Structure 1
C-alpha cells in the first residue's frame, strides 16, 4: 500500500475534468486555479417515493394496470402525472370496440423492489471489555479528573460487568452502548444532551451514568446503534425506530421544528416509529442527522443552512408527530445503499455505485472540485461561517472523487478520511496541520500542499478496520488492534502523551500506546473536539 498521492501531482492548477478515484489526477493546490463541478441530473436514476424504490421503467407496468399513483404520488411513463385507472380503462374499451369478442384485461401485479437493506448490515457487533478516554473535560468520564494525555480506562464498565459495544463522542458529552441496549453517558448537559437524573440543564456529570428511558421509548425495541452530534444523541432500535435527545437547534427553524427541538431538549423523543418506517442506519453531523431506511430512502433533520439536509428546511404543521418521516425525505437523492454524515455535510453512496454529496464543500472535502480562490475566502472568513456560505452544495451533487471504490466509512469536517472495504485509507480536503496524514505540510511554506481535491492514500502497515475524524484530527485502528492518530493535538485528544514542550502537529499516523490498554486490542474509537473514546477487547 502506497502512502503517496494517487497519480502524479499537478502544481498550480486543478484537473479540467474530474476523474475516477484511481486515475492519475492527484493534484494539490499551490495557487488559485481550477473549476467547480456542475450539478448532475438524477432523472435517469431510481427514485424514492413513499418508502418504495421506483425505477423509471416501472411506470409502464403500473400504467398497464390502471395504477396512477403509489402511496398518493402521481406516476406515469412520460410525465409527473399518471393516468388514472378510470381513464386507462376507458381508453382500453374504446380501442376494443371493433373487436367482436373483446377480452377483459388480465391484471398484473406491479413490480416494486423489495427491501434490500437491513439493520444487521450496519450495527456494531463486536463486544468490548474496556472503555478508555483521553483529552480534557467532563466528557472523559473520570471523576475528579479533567485531563489525560493518554487513553485511561473508565472503571464502571468492568466494575459492573457491563459489555460495551459502541462508543460515541459529542462535542462536550460521551455515550456508551452496551450489548443489552443500555446507554451510559457523561459530560455537560447542554439543553438535555445528558439526561441524567439530578443534573440540571447546563450542569455536568463527570461519571458515566445509565440513562433512564420511558416505557414508551422502551416499547420501540432494544437500542442497537448510537450517533452523536455536537450537543445531541440519536438511537436506533432493533425494530427500526429512531429517537433522540439534546439540542439539534437550527438558526432559522420552522415553528413545527421548534416544537420537536423543545421536546428533545426535555426528554428522549421518538423521531421515526418502526410501524410507519423501518430505519437501518443513523448518522450525525454537528447540527444535523441523516437516516437510511430499508428501501434506500435518505431522511435528514436539523440545521440545513449550509445545504447539509439536501432539501428545503420546510415542515408542514400536519406532519408534526406523524413519526413516519415522510416530510424528511431528500427527494432529489437516488436510491441509497449507505450514508455518511459529519461536520456540516452528508455523503450518499447510491445503489448505482455513484456518490453524492451535499452541505459544506469549502475545502473540496465532498469530492466536488472548487476554485482555490473560494477556499482562500473561507480561510479569511473562518469566523463568519454562519453568514458566509462558501461552496455549499444545496442539493445532492455527484462526488466523483469517491467513485470507483466501495467505502464503508467517511468522516471529518474540513478534511475527510475515507476507509474502503479492503482496509485502505484515503484522505482529502484541507491539509493544514497535516490533517491528511501525508506529512508534507510545513508551517514555513504553508502555501504548498495545503489543499487536496482528490483522495490521497494514507500509509499503514496493516489492514485498517475503522476511522474517526474531526477538525484537523484523525484516528484509525487496524485489524490487529493497534490505534494510530495524526493531525493537531490541542487537548491531548490524539492520545499520544504529548507535553507542552512537544510539537503538537503530528504529520503522519503515530501509534497510540498506554499502560491502560496493554494486553487489549482497540476495536472502536470516536474522536471529538476535545476528547476521544476508545473501545478495547482483551487479548
Structure 2
C-alpha cells in the first residue's frame, strides 16, 4: 500500500520526512507503519493522523498544542502515538490544533488544544495543551472546526463544545462559549455531522433534513446571505431538490458540500478561490452541481478552501485555493474548475484533505 501527499508541508504534515513551503505534485510519503493497511487518514491545520487496520494510531506534522498526542516539537514522518498503544481505533478526527479518535467500542479520546474548550474539558481545570484523555460519552462520529467540536452519539444526538460566538455550537444566542459538551435539544435522528471554520451541518437521513447553524457570511449555510448567523439549527434551503439523493455531507472553512447517490456533488458558500468548482458563480447566490461526464464521484474531501475527489475510473480531480500547491496540479494558481491530478496508479482507494494539504491511499 502506498500513501501519496501534496500541498503545504512547512511542519512536515505530509509525512515525507522533510519540511518545505509546498509540494505542488503528489509524492510518496515515507512508510513507517510496516506496510499495514491504512483504515482511515485525516488532516487539518498543520498536522495529520492515520489509523491502520490493526487499530494503531500514527501522527505527523505540527505539534505546538500536542495535537499529535506525544511530546515533540514537530514530526516529519508518521510516528506511533505510544500514549494510546494497546487501544484499537476505528475513526480519527483532526481539528485546527486538536485531535480525536474513536475506538471500536465507541469510546472517545481527545487531545491537543483546549484553549476554547473545544475538547469539552473545563478550561479552569485543564491546561491549554491536553494529553490524550478519555470521555465517558459513547459516540459514533466526531468532527472539529477551527475552535469548536461536534459529537454524534450512538442515539443520533449532536453534542457541541468550544467557541460559539458565530453560532457554531447551535445552542442559542446566549451560548457563545462552552467547555463541556452539551446536547442540542431540538434535533435528533442525525446520521452525519461536519464542521467548518465557524459553522456546523448535520444530516438526518430518516427525516430527510439537512440542519445548518453558525456563520453564514458567505452563504455556507445554504440560506439567504442576508442572514449572517444562525444560533440554532435551521433547515438548509440549497438541497431541497436533491434531499432524497444525499449520501454524505462536508464542510470547508466557508463553504459546504453534499455528495449525492447519483455520483454528483452539490456545493454552496464562498467561491472567491473557485472552491465551488465553478468560476462564474457568486457566493451566497446559489449552488453548483459538480459532475463529470460519464463518471461518478466516489469520494469527496474538502480542505479549508479547496476540494479533491476520486472518480469511479480511479482518476483524482481538484479545484479551489492553491497557494501552497494544495490541488496537486503542478502550479500555485487558483483552480476555478475541476482539474485532473496526475497520479500514476490506477488503484486509488481513499482521499483526504486538510487545510492546505492532501493524502491519497493507493494499493
- Pair 1:156 & 2:31 matched: yes
Alignment pair present for 1:360 and 2:193: no
Q: 1:523 to 1:260 in 2, by over 3 A?
A: farther
Q: Distance in 2 between matches of 1:494 and 1:315?
A: 35
Of residues 101, 107, 113 in structure 2, which corresponds to 1:247? 113
Corresponding residue for residue 509 of structure 1: 338
> Could you tell me how far 1:509 is from its partner in structure 2?
0.6
Higher-helix-fraction structure: 1
Distance in 2 separating the partners of 1:481 and 1:260: 49
SS in 1 for 2:127: helix
CA distance in 2, matches of 1:167, 1:315: 28
Q: Which of 264, 280, 283 does residue 451 from structure 1 map onto? A: 283
1:267 equivalent to 2:131? Answer yes
Cα displacement (A) at 1:511: 0.7
Secondary structure, aligned partner of 1:213: helix
TM-score where L is the length of structure 2: 0.89
Secondary structure, in 3 states, of the residue corresponding to 1:156? coil
* Aligned with 2:313 (options 455, 473, 480): 480
The 1:256–1:509 alpha-carbon spacing in structure 2 relative to 1, beyond 3 Å, is: closer
* Greater fraction strand: 2
- 2:123 counterpart residue number: 258
Once the 2 structures are TM-superposed, how far is the Cα of residue 313 of structure 1 from its aligned partner? 5.4
**For this pair of structures, how many residues does the alignment match?**
352
Match of 2:161 in 1: 301
* Map 1:115-154 → 2, pairs under 5 A: 129-135=1-7, 136-137=9-10, 138-146=12-20, 147-154=22-29
Local SS of the residue matching 1:402: coil
1:465 partner SS: strand
Question: Does 1:211 pair with 2:65?
Answer: no
Instruction: Return the offset for 1:187.
Output: 0.9
Structure 2 gaps, min length 5? none
Deviation at 1:409, TM superposition (A): 2.2
Counterparts of residues 109-120 of structure 1 (less than 5 Å): none
* Aligned equivalent of 1:529: 355
Does residue 279 (structure 1) correspond to residue 112 (structure 2)? The answer is no
Aligned to 2:198: 344
Residue 166 in structure 1 maps to residue 32 in structure 2? no
SS of corresponding position for 2:31: helix
Stretches of structure 1 that go unaligned for 5 or more consecutive residues are 1-128, 321-326, 375-390, 441-448
Mark the CA change 1:242 to 1:363 in structure 2 (over 3 Å): closer, same or farther: same
**Does the 8 Å CA contact 1:368/1:453 hold for their aligned counterparts?**
no
Q: Deviations over 1:66-93 (max 9, x none)?
A: xxxxxxxxxxxxxxxxxxxxxxxxxxxx
Mapped partners of 1:242, 1:256: distance in 2: 13
- For 1:181 and 1:255, the matched residues in 2 are separated by 24
- Secondary structure class of the residue paired with 2:313: coil
| 1:460 CA drift (Å) | 1.3
Partner of 2:98: 232
Aligned to 2:236: 399
1:308-358 Cα deviation digits (max 9, x unpaired): 111135769xxx7xxxxxx52111223323222222211112331112111
- From the superposition, tell whether residues 314 and 171 of structure 1 become closer, same or farther in structure 2 (CA, over 3 Å): closer
SS in 2 for 1:336: coil
**1:195-230 CA distance string (max 9 Å, x none):** 335x1xxx2111211001257xx5xx5210011110
Preserved CA contact (<8 Å) 2:142 2:152 = yes
Distance verdict in 2 for CA 1:266–1:283, change over 3 Å: closer
Offset of residue 157 of structure 1: 4.4
Q: Distance in 2 between matches of 1:266 and 1:429?
A: 33
Aligned counterparts of 1:231 and 1:254: Cα–Cα separation in 2: 11
RMSD: 2.5
